[in-house]
Amino acid sequence: MRRFLRPGHDPVRERLKRDLFQFNKTVEHGFPHQPSALGYSPFLRLMAIGTRSGAIKLYGAPGVEFMGLHEENNTVMQIHFIPDQCQLVTLLDDNSLHLWSLKQHSGASELREEHRFTLKGPPGSPPSATQITAVLPHSSREVLYLGTESGNIFVVELPSFRVLEDRTITSEAVLQRVPEDYCNRRSCELVEALREHPKNPDQILIGYSRGLIVLWDLQNNKVTHHFLGSQQLENLYWQRDGSKFISCHYDGSYTQWPVSSDNRQPEPLENLVPYGPFPCKAISKIYWQTTKNGLPYIIFQGGMPRASYGDRHSISVVHGSQQTAFDFTSRVIDFFIIFSSEPTAEFDDPSAMVVLAEEELVVIDLKTAGWPAVHPPYLASLHCSAITCSHHVSNIPLKLWERIISAGSKQNIHYSNMPWPIDGGTNVAPDPPQRDLLLTGHEDGTVRFWDASGVCLHLLYKLSTVRVFLTDADPNDNMNTLGEDEWPPLRKVGTFDPYSDDPRLGIQKIYLCKYSGYLAVAGTAGQVLVMELNDEDAEHVVDHAEADLLQDQEGYRWKGHEKLKTRDGPVRFEAGFQPFVLVQCQPPAVVTSLALHSEWKLVAFGTSHGFGLFDHQQKRLVFVKCTLHPSDQLALEGPLSRVKSLKKSLRQSFRRIRRSRVSSRKRRGGSGNASEVQEANAKFDQDALQEMELAPVQRKIEARSAEDSFTGFVRTLYFADTFLRDSSRHCPSLWAGTNGGTVYAFCLRVPPAERRMDEPVRAEQAKEIQLMHRAPVVGILVLDGRSTPLPEPLEVAHDLSKSPDMQGSHQLLVVSEEQFKVFTLPKVSSKLKLKLTALEGCRVRKVTVANFGSCKTDDYSENDLAVLTNLGDIQIISLPFLKLQIRYPCIRKEDVSGIASCVFTKYGQGFYLISPSEFERFSLSTKWLVEPRCIVDMPEVTSNNHMHNKSGIENAARKS
Amino acid sequence: EFRRFSLERSKPGKFEEFYGLLQHVHKIPNVDVLVGYTDIHGDLLPINNDDNYHKAVSTANPLLRIFIQRKEDADYSAFGTDTMTRKKNVLSNVLRPDNHKKKPHIVISMPQDFRPVSSIIDVDILPETHRRVRLYKYGTDKPLGFYIRDGSSVRVTPHGLEKVPGIFISRLVPGGLAQSTGLLAVNDEVLEVNGIEVSGKSLDQVTDMMIANSRNLIITVRPANQRNNVVRNSRTSGSSGQSTESSLPSSTPNILANFLQGEEESDEEDIIIEDSGEPQQIPKAAPTSESLESLTQIELLHESTQNGFLPSSEMNLNHSAGSVSMEYEVQDPDHKSLEEDGTIITL
């Protein structure tokens, strides 16, 4: 080891560094931000989602996913798979077309952009002449038909995108044989829809926005049928046998048209306004699906009565007498139906409906009675309530893993058992090396447990802390409970619900002990809950304790929110994590740090006022320590009300407005305080804005002093069994670090196990260290005699870690936002330091010990610090000598929420939010890499490939 | 009153002992006095610590002429550069203090009561258009008191003049340290912070670097006003030609090194309270070979700037005295605030 420590470029160390460290952004988890287009290939059984930032993501079987990004970063308007090919075409809002292909490369498929093309009209023509509105990839796979705003349809060759000018279908040619009086009333206008005949590839159906629909014969270049629609057209759909098609319209109606060789200008078979008679909104897309039993499924988007339900985002499914209007939580971007694509099959027999809404993906099982939702294995809406914190636990023991899954499965009974219907491609990635859990805390007081072991971030279990408290929300207030004869038959689907009933419920800190199953969760209103995993439902009383962190400090008045009211009496909890004790901090300020020691049965918590230690075995408060500086008025006044961002307060006030609108019938009261705070915030924001205008970019240079605000804010808590008093006896200890650069160390006396319930836990302050640079302390760590970080509680007991070296001298590592410092123990003398900010001007935002294994040899691994700075860089710093090993730019420095959301794992991976709904996963390690690796094979193309799949080709041709 | 006695030049002893000897020789054991001597340039200089006492003894040629005044009616203005030549007769001033009633001088305290607040350093290695200013936040209650902003400056490059982004001083707080030194001004461009170039760094980064270094802040600026630059006539004259130290180069680095060492130490010393006892500064652990390496590596940058340190401002007359008083000051405010926190609550 010693030779690696020399400064400068030791070639041996440099080589080892290459074997240890490597930076990769591997996969994006969650739901794409601002989706704008959807496509599906029944041939590949792959789904594609495009976004407003120009990203395109392909999903198949769990683990099969691809991502591409258009250079232009323009909104993806439409996605069309080329029939029977591993290719797709995207249309962006700059009117450019892009051809993407999936190609195999060294054992895995890759998504690559092959060509791009912008349709150019003759010189001098208006831009609308070539503005593409509809795209039809022909089943011959040789040409694309491009409908435009001008009404002309251009034909381009694939894959070259060469325009075949002689095959252009002009609106003049189409109008030639249209009856005079119809023609006068409405000109063609733009091409709304293009559909290929399901049986005859030489015929395409063209729909114009004013209502005219024609069947065009490609061989003879002429119109064979005219369908004189009287309503503005939205979309078209062929029936499977090609004998009929259906059109949907702006006025909320749909019309069936017969196609036969004897009538060239047929009258509609049926014209229906499903939610009439009052004016309805447009039906923007419609499906007509045949079944064996004869009753078709008619599935359409929109069409709700304009006045009463015009704000609903609905898709209606009609099957005989059954009718349900699925009511989505956000705008529907697009949807498709999965049905039998076998060319020999006589009927469509739809199996599932896949709906891309703006904030979530919903899949409905159409085969099971009641049409239940299918639980998606990916594309989870992480932000169904805003994420407030996250916590990662690596290498979960199998037992705990199974218990969590079992608790979660009891919550998922209302989901369909249908296997995931989008199952294209093969996942060839190696199995995840271990079971990892990502826990996210949410604004609505829930904690979600995600399987973060592999490429698919999958929800295992959802825990709600709300039951412990009395909230404004009426538990019986269920939007779904509608009477039998309610019309329209709305049914709410989806989980996205960004509006929290009470922001005080928000989860701020999570700590899970993977060995014991103890979980501590702390929230916005100073609530700390300790929970235990129980496999059965149970009804019990939650014990309740108060921790007065101000102690005898006088003359302080808390102007922030009140604590949450608790439910009296026993509370029923479902199987899973069940709270057994609640510690309420007073004042009820947001909990800023949390630590749990499952072996000693202690939980430590800190706020902006101080910290406390609670014995959850005896359910007794051990001690509290006020860290407040007497002159720090700001910390006392409220929940950081004055440092709240403008955005946040806007969001909150918006939420309040919305809440009062939604629940006007709910009881009022207790809002006086809230409005006061809001007013004060508004005033503060205004002041801040004014100040900003006066001094646009100016920064004050001033040393920190003990009198600064929020110096008492507790940033980190740490339990350690170390040499605090003398070098002969080690003892349990609790360490706390504050915003003002103070470190407190308390010596703990925990009674032995046999007398654990009889004797009290005692604590005594042993040390207090004041860092002279006074920067916030963000991390505390004790290194044992071998300079290895102390193991987690119970880790040794479960034989998962070597016991720490209690012979040699221990060292204390204190990480502030500006410096890393190593001190000796038990006598505190400074040993080493790394002044990060003074040298580089960056500050530590997150720090974790991570274990890095060599990719070359199995027997070498080392512990280092993984550090995220305020500039979004990740640095790896060696232990115990604090040498910078490597630096990678990771997050844009302007992306403050991304940096704030970052969480590192114990094995050199990490997650951060790239949008409210997506985690980017990255890896710093050469050894632990979780990234998608999958193959998409061309399925066997049958001889009658022209017939194959035609009916299933998704033509998501519609305007957004 | 005149006394004459002999000292062993090679072993002058400590100033304390010498002071005691003087009081004994003059039979004034309980009277506070100021001690001064005339150096080879004829300047009347104070003797109040070991360093300047040793220097005085070593420069005696062969006689060391010493002046003693009672502290309460001392004439401070008599000390300093050129005092012996400027005044017709220093002795007349010293011996007949009533002369001064006609032309009162501003009374300034003795150097031992001073502490440096700022200095211009590295004059010999920097271009004349640049100025490296050291601000001693330590031990003063004054705020640093300045603001910085983004701006653009013009650089000469091989491709001609180019506009590049830069960091500038935007505002000085009246009464702040930065303003009171007179060495920094609004619109001075900040080039380096403690030896690290700021080019390519954002305003927030530079702010964080300055705050992280606020206890010992060294800023290199290109002053907006280039008329007050130090003009160097020749290498030999040094940057502050008047200083007596320039003629005694052998003793200078020593004093400076001690001073800087002390400064660096106190800058970094965190405070520990053991078992709610008295706050103490955290000592450095006996450095192992590895830790020494790392320390030298980290602090290399500071040292490189400090080696060329040459005092030129009149405010840093006496470094060692300043350093002592600083260390004292440091402890004081923390002491008070921390004692209150000593209580332990066990429930």
Overall fold of domain B1-83: Ubiquitin-like (UB roll) (3.10.20)
Give the nearest partner residue to A832 out of B143, B201, B294, using CB atoms.
Answer: B294
Name every chain B residue with its beta carbon within 8 A of the beta carbon of A623.
344-347
Nearest residue of A to residue B146 by CA position? A701
Report the pLDDT value the prediction gives residue B155, as an integer from 0 to 100: 81
Do A903 and A816 lie in a common domain?
no
Name every chain B residue with its beta carbon within 8 A of the beta carbon of A821.
270
HEC profile of A504-531: HHCEEEEEECCCCCEEEEEECCCEEEEE
Provide the number of CB pairs (under 8 Å) joining chain A to chain B. Answer: 175
Over range A491-506, report the average pLDDT.
87
- Structural domain including A900 reads 844-937
Report the pLDDT value the prediction gives residue B250, as an integer from 0 to 100: 37
The CA distance from A908 to the nearest CA of chain B, in Å, is 25
Separation between Cα atoms, residue A908 and residue A225, nearest integer Å: 65
The token duo for B135 is: 């601000």
Give the nearest partner residue to B149 out of A6, A697, A833, using CB atoms.
Answer: A697
* Average pLDDT over chain A, rounded to an integer: 86
Report the pLDDT value the prediction gives residue A939, as an integer from 0 to 100: 72
Is A459 a domain residue? yes
Given a contact cutoff of 8 angstroms between Cβ atoms, the answer to whether A495 and A384 are in contact is yes
Name every chain B residue with its beta carbon within 8 A of the beta carbon of A762.
346
Nearest residue of B to residue A764 by CA position? B344
Instruction: Give me the number of domains chain A comprises.
Output: 6
Given a contact cutoff of 8 angstroms between Cβ atoms, the answer to whether A926 and A854 are in contact is yes
Residue A285 pLDDT > 90, yes or no? yes
Separation between Cα atoms, residue A28 and residue A915, nearest integer Å: 10
Given a contact cutoff of 8 angstroms between Cβ atoms, the answer to whether A130 and A123 are in contact is no
Three-state secondary structure call for residue A239 = coil
Count Cβ atoms below 10 Å from residue A945 Cβ, excluding itself: 17
Is A801 a domain residue? yes
Last residue of a domain, one of A795, A816, A841: A841
Q: Higher-confidence residue: B49 or A481?
A: B49
Last residue of a domain, one of A785, A815, A841: A841
Separation between Cα atoms, residue B14 and residue A591, nearest integer Å: 59
Is A510 a domain residue? yes
C-alpha separations of B8 from A318, B5, B53 in Å = 116, 10, 13
Separation between Cα atoms, residue B308 and residue A314, nearest integer Å: 76
**A703 with B209: Cβ contact below 8 A:** no
Positive or negative: CA dihedral A745, A749, A753, A755: negative
Report the pLDDT value the prediction gives residue A637, as an integer from 0 to 100: 60
Residue A690 pLDDT > 70, yes or no? no
Name every chain A residue with its beta carbon within 8 A of the beta carbon of B151.
none
Determine if the peptide bond prior to A296 is cis (ω within 30°): no
Over range A69-95, report the average pLDDT.
93
Is A885 a domain residue? yes
**CB proximity list for A561: less than 8 A, separation 6 or greater:** A504, A524, A525, A588, A638, A639, A673, A674, A677
Name every chain B residue with its beta carbon within 8 A of the beta carbon of A770.
270-272, 279, 334, 338
Residue A176 pLDDT > 80, yes or no? no
Chosen for mutation from A701, A820, A823 (greatest number of chain B CBs closer than 10 Å) is: A701
Do A849 and A810 lie in a common domain?
no
The CA distance from B276 to the nearest CA of chain A, in Å, is 7
Is A650 a domain residue? no
818-877 of A, contacting B, C-beta below 8 A: 818-819, 821, 823-824, 828-835, 837-843, 870-871
Do A524 and A619 lie in a common domain?
yes
Residue A107 pLDDT > 70, yes or no? yes
297-336 of B, contacting A, C-beta below 8 A: 297-298, 301, 333-334
**A623 with B301: Cβ contact below 8 A:** no
Identical topology for domains B1-83 and B116-226: no
The token duo for A101 is: 């292909």
Q: Which residues pair with A521 in a beta bridge?
A: A510, A529
> Which of A459-463, A775-779, A955-959, B328-332 is predicted with the least confidence, judged by mean pLDDT?
B328-332
Chosen for mutation from B136, B173, B197, B208 (greatest number of chain A CBs closer than 10 Å) is: B208
Show the low-confidence residues of chain B (pLDDT under 50).
81-104, 234-267, 288-347
Give the nearest partner residue to A703 out of B202, B215, B279, using CB atoms.
Answer: B215
B125 CB near a chain A CB, below 8 Å? no
A899 CB near a chain B CB, below 8 Å? no
Given a contact cutoff of 8 angstroms between Cβ atoms, the answer to whether B93 and B100 are in contact is yes
DSSP state of A790: P
Is A428 a domain residue? no
Separation between Cα atoms, residue A915 and residue A902, nearest integer Å: 12
Residue A946 pLDDT > 70, yes or no? no
Chosen for mutation from A550, A699, A839 (greatest number of chain B CBs closer than 10 Å) is: A699
C-alpha separations of A24 from A391, A847, A855, A888, A920 in Å = 21, 19, 15, 10, 10
Q: Which residues pair with A365 in a beta bridge?
A: A352
Q: Higher-confidence residue: B63 or A131?
A: A131
At residue A748, φ and ψ (nearest 5 deg) are: -110, 145
The CA distance from B324 to the nearest CA of chain A, in Å, is 18
Report the pLDDT value the prediction gives residue A75, as an integer from 0 to 100: 96
Chosen for mutation from B117, B267, B274, B300 (greatest number of chain A CBs closer than 10 Å) is: B274
Q: Higher-confidence residue: B59 or A574?
A: A574
Report the pLDDT value the prediction gives residue A407, as an integer from 0 to 100: 94
Report the pLDDT value the prediction gives residue A396, as an integer from 0 to 100: 93
Is A446 a domain residue? yes
B147 CB near a chain A CB, below 8 Å? yes
Separation between Cα atoms, residue A610 and residue A633, nearest integer Å: 14
539-558 of A, contacting B, C-beta below 8 A: 551
Do A793 and A887 lie in a common domain?
no
At residue A485, φ and ψ (nearest 5 deg) are: -95, 25
The CA distance from B283 to the nearest CA of chain A, in Å, is 5
Quote the ipTM score: 0.78
What proportion of chain A, given as a percentage, has pLDDT over 90?
A: 62
**B148 with A621: Cβ contact below 8 A:** no
Residue A465 pLDDT > 70, yes or no? yes
Is A769 a domain residue? yes
pLDDT band at A187 (very low <50, low <70, confident <90, very high): low
Name every chain B residue with its beta carbon within 8 A of the beta carbon of A824.
285
Do A397 and A297 lie in a common domain?
no
Do A544 and A609 lie in a common domain?
yes
At residue A665, φ and ψ (nearest 5 deg) are: -80, -15
Last residue of a domain, one of A60, A87, A104: A104
Residue A219 pLDDT > 60, yes or no? yes
pLDDT band at A484 (very low <50, low <70, confident <90, very high): low
A810 CB near a chain B CB, below 8 Å? no
**CB proximity list for B102: less than 8 A, separation 6 or greater:** none
**A766 with B285: Cβ contact below 8 A:** no
Q: Does domain B116-226 have CATH number 2.40.30.10?
A: no
Report the pLDDT value the prediction gives residue A359, as an integer from 0 to 100: 94
What proportion of chain A, given as a percentage, has pLDDT over 70?
A: 87
DSSP state of A240: T
A714 CB near a chain B CB, below 8 Å? no
Residue-wise pLDDT for A321-356, tens only, equals 999 999 999 999 999 999 988 878 888 999 999 999
Nearest of A76, A72, A81, A75 to residue A101 by alpha carbon: A81
Report the pLDDT value the prediction gives residue A664, as an integer from 0 to 100: 35
B120 CB near a chain A CB, below 8 Å? no
pLDDT band at A726 (very low <50, low <70, confident <90, very high): confident
- Provide the residue ranges of all domains of chain B, joining segments of one domain with +: 1-83, 116-226
Separation between Cα atoms, residue A624 and residue B271, nearest integer Å: 23
Separation between Cα atoms, residue A489 and residue A486, nearest integer Å: 6
pTM (predicted TM-score): 0.79
Do A397 and A313 lie in a common domain?
no
The CA distance from B281 to the nearest CA of chain A, in Å, is 9
Separation between Cα atoms, residue A508 and residue A524, nearest integer Å: 6
A768 CB near a chain B CB, below 8 Å? yes
Report the pLDDT value the prediction gives residue B294, as an integer from 0 to 100: 38
Report the pLDDT value the prediction gives residue B176, as an integer from 0 to 100: 85
Torsion, CA B133, CA B138, CA B144, CA B148, rounded to 10:
50
Nearest residue of A to residue B212 by CA position? A838
CA atoms within 13 A on the CB side of B59: 24
Q: Higher-confidence residue: A928 or A220?
A: A220
**B291 with A881: Cβ contact below 8 A:** yes
pLDDT band at A116 (very low <50, low <70, confident <90, very high): very high
Residue-wise pLDDT for A745-763, tens only, equals 999 999 998 999 999 999 9
**B270 with A771: Cβ contact below 8 A:** yes
